[in-house]
Structure 1
Amino acid sequence: MSEILVLVDHADGAARKPALELLTLARRLGTPSAVLLGAGDTAPSIAATLVEHGAEKVYCADASEFADYLVVPKVDALEQIAQRASPAAVLVTSSAEGKEIAARLALRLDSGLITDAVDVEAGESGPLTTQSAFAATYSVRSTVTRGTPVITVKPNAATPEPTAAAGTLEEVAIAFSPAATGTSVVSRAPRQVSNRPDLTEAAVVVSGGRGVGSAESFAVIEALADSLGAAVGASRAAVDAGWYPHSSQVGQTGKTVSPQLYLANGISGAIQHRAGMQTSKTIVAVNKDAEAPIFDLADFGVVGDLFDVLPQLTAEAEARKG
């Protein structure tokens, strides 16, 4: 079977969950091969995790350029590995950086590009993807008809499935292009420490909107999220009001999420918000307005005051933990 290259997204010495999801999807298409760039001393432990999740081969490249400069060094590495391996497809996490890497790679390989896929499967002429278009109003089935398919996949498109693999480790030396040093990193700041999962990767997201009423009242959203091990999201109205940071905004001008469970609280369901969460597997809405558009989208709905409903739900979730 042909190789399927998977660019590994990693942080703090560990492979991130979307990378493991991509390895699971890659097994549908061919033989998964992971591409691990700039992991330094943590490369062996990350590689071991990748092998546990089905990587038959791990291409490993380490150089200061991966940390000191943006995007292009990774494109250089992927291009050179792709030229050597002649893969049937290249899978990349659908993040801001991932989509830029994928676009540049597709241009260099003179290949077709598909972004923001929510599913990937084997087709008659190559990988067949599913995308959500026009604020998730339509599902689009697409396949690349030219070159090596380069596909970015949204987090939570698959459940990581561990499986034993050969896991051959291959060290790769990369010849960086002059463009690799075009944009340098001048400073870094640590992310705010939180015990909650990353919003775009979380299996459960609890969001609050205009109906929450104030920044202080977001405590009821956070309490429910913590009881469920969930990430906290916010609508644009809540963010614009200064109640919650923009980094937690879900919607067309915020982040796109696709969790297993999305709980929308005090959110009317405007198209701007729907564009960021409509591909969630199960949607639950709590709103006092029985005519709120969010109920047209929700799988389950509660017409009621979120300040009455959410504390009961939190208490029930905590009780079931015991």
Structure 2
Amino acid sequence: MAVKVNPEECIGCTACVSACPFGAIVMEDGKALITDACTACGACIDVCPVGAIHREVEEKNVSMNKDEFKGVWVYIEQVGGQARNVGYELLNEGRKLADAMGQELAGILIGDNVDQLTKEVFARGADTIYLVEGKEFSHYSTDAYTITLTDLIHTYKPAVILMGATNDGRDLGPRVAGRVGTGLTADCTNLGIDPATGLVAWTRPAFGGNIMATILCPDHRPQMGTIRPNVFKRSAPDYSRTGEIIRVDSKVKMTDIRTKLLEIIREGVASANLEEAEIIVSGGRGLSKPESFALIEELAEVLGGAVGASRAVVDAGWKPALYQVGQTGKTVGPKVYFACGISGAIQHVAGMSSSDIVIAINKDPEAPIFKIANYGIVGDVMEVIPALIDEIKKVKTAG
């Protein structure tokens, strides 16, 4: 979509020049001319007294037969033969979408010797599994997985594809969408069916989280989106469920893979599995200094949990971004979440509100975090945490 000036109607009043917030309009031969700096914001359209400026809508490519595309697919991300939780979370939500659309739910498994995961995928709600195996999939690579998922889409034509907004999902999703000529809504926090159109309604934060945008994909298929981990809950598995396994031969050649994995370096393990952790201990600016994070790490260790941090801590340089929990960090949903010295800003709460139990420790009794906490301790974290650690150690010693 572009903004254009009709030179025959333009009277050269320059009202649009001063109204443009990007300086994208200049006067040439007494007429307004829109330059390449235009962002199509439309400010000039509103101020033009003679209606000489208008939006020029590009013709849409509607040659695609959308009726050919059927079914809801969930990409089951796995590492070393172990499925990530987000795949099972999306199977639960995908089941709801598929039922609402009157279509089947399929799981997509790509990897090396991953057929042992099929039973769990069926138990979590899939009707069908598309299984592609090969040594070339032993570790995730952009080329191999993009070629394979693109080929599956061209062959079987799904209507909807759900993927986790993980590091791999954020890499794979946009590449596949570009290859098949469709759109992709990234980092969704909610899904539904638009009642007016029957399309999937993808909801995600926009403008720094200040608004929630709902996005539709009416003209292209499949409808694709990546969804943040821990936004949805996993359903209880039903191991009596079975379905059809469609084994698909890999079309990837080793020469197609332009990168070579040299080494895997395990770093920041305590935070790397935040999305998978059942217990998370997070620290905020209430710890006063970075050295105090040793207490957070010790409490996480005795509980067998992972370490998290608020955005304020990351911005202050106390912890790397890998540890950040919140709207601009990682979305988590553990069984127990400790918020230590964290005030409870809405951006942080958005990343951990799906936790089963929230335990807050803060010396400010009016801190917003207490409004969502199941248990609250009003006190100095530097005094409360050591006492907790001692008690937990006593309980563990006593068996």
Give the TM-score of the pair, scaled to structure 2.
0.66
In structure 2, the partner of 1:211 is 286
2:281, 2:338 within 8 Å by CA — same for their partners in 1? yes
* Farther off after superposition, 211-220 or 68-77: 211-220
Question: CA separation in 2, counterparts of 1:296 and 1:66?
Answer: 43
Kindly state the Cα deviation for residue 21 of structure 1 after the two structures are TM-superposed: 0.9
Q: Secondary structure at the match of 1:87?
A: coil
Q: 2:233 aligns with which of 159, 164, 177?
A: 159
Question: CA separation in 1, counterparts of 2:223 and 2:393?
Answer: 43
Map Cα deviations across residues 136-193 of structure 1 (whole Å, 9 max, x no partner): 43333332222211111111122221234333222212334899423x1331225369
1:204, 1:259 within 8 Å by CA — same for their partners in 2? no
Q: How does 1:9-158 map to 2 (within 5 A)?
A: 9-30=77-98, 31-38=104-111, 40-41=112-113, 43-67=114-138, 70-124=141-195, 125-146=198-219, 147-158=221-232
Change (3 A) 1:291 1:297: closer
Q: 2:277 aligns with which of 170, 193, 202?
A: 202
Within the alignment, does 1:306 sit opposite 2:381 as a pair? yes
Question: CA separation in 2, counterparts of 1:239 and 1:10?
Answer: 28
Q: Unaligned stretches of 5+ in structure 2?
A: 1-68, 99-103
In structure 2, the partner of 1:235 is 310
Kindly state the Cα deviation for residue 266 of structure 1 after the two structures are TM-superposed: 2.0
1:6, 1:90 within 8 Å by CA — same for their partners in 2? yes
Of structures 1 and 2, the larger Rg is shown by: 2
Change (3 A) 1:313 1:137: farther
Kindly state the Cα deviation for residue 101 of structure 1 after the two structures are TM-superposed: 1.2
Q: For residue 264 of structure 1, what is the amino acid of its counterpart?
A: A
Change (3 A) 1:11 1:179: same
Q: For residue 110 of structure 2, what is the amino acid of its counterpart?
A: L
Matched residue pairs, number?
A: 314
In structure 1, the partner of 2:353 is 280
Question: CA separation in 2, counterparts of 1:123 and 1:177?
Answer: 41
Kindly state the Cα deviation for residue 87 of structure 1 after the two structures are TM-superposed: 1.2
* Farther off after superposition, 282-291 or 125-134: 282-291
Q: CA RMSD in A?
A: 3.7
Question: CA separation in 2, counterparts of 1:68 and 1:296?
Answer: 40
In structure 2, the partner of 1:248 is 323
Quick one: higher RCO (CA 8 Å, sep 6+), 1 or 2?
Answer: 1
1:236, 1:251 within 8 Å by CA — same for their partners in 2? yes
2:360, 2:369 within 8 Å by CA — same for their partners in 1? no
Q: For residue 273 of structure 2, what is the amino acid of its counterpart?
A: D
Question: CA separation in 2, counterparts of 1:110 and 1:120?
Answer: 22
2:71, 2:105 within 8 Å by CA — same for their partners in 1? yes
Change (3 A) 1:140 1:11: same
Q: Secondary structure at the match of 2:190?
A: strand
Question: CA separation in 2, counterparts of 1:174 and 1:11?
Answer: 18
Kindly state the Cα deviation for residue 234 of structure 1 after the two structures are TM-superposed: 1.8
Give the TM-score of the pair, scaled to structure 1.
0.79
2:131, 2:248 within 8 Å by CA — same for their partners in 1? yes
Q: Secondary structure at the match of 1:104?
A: helix
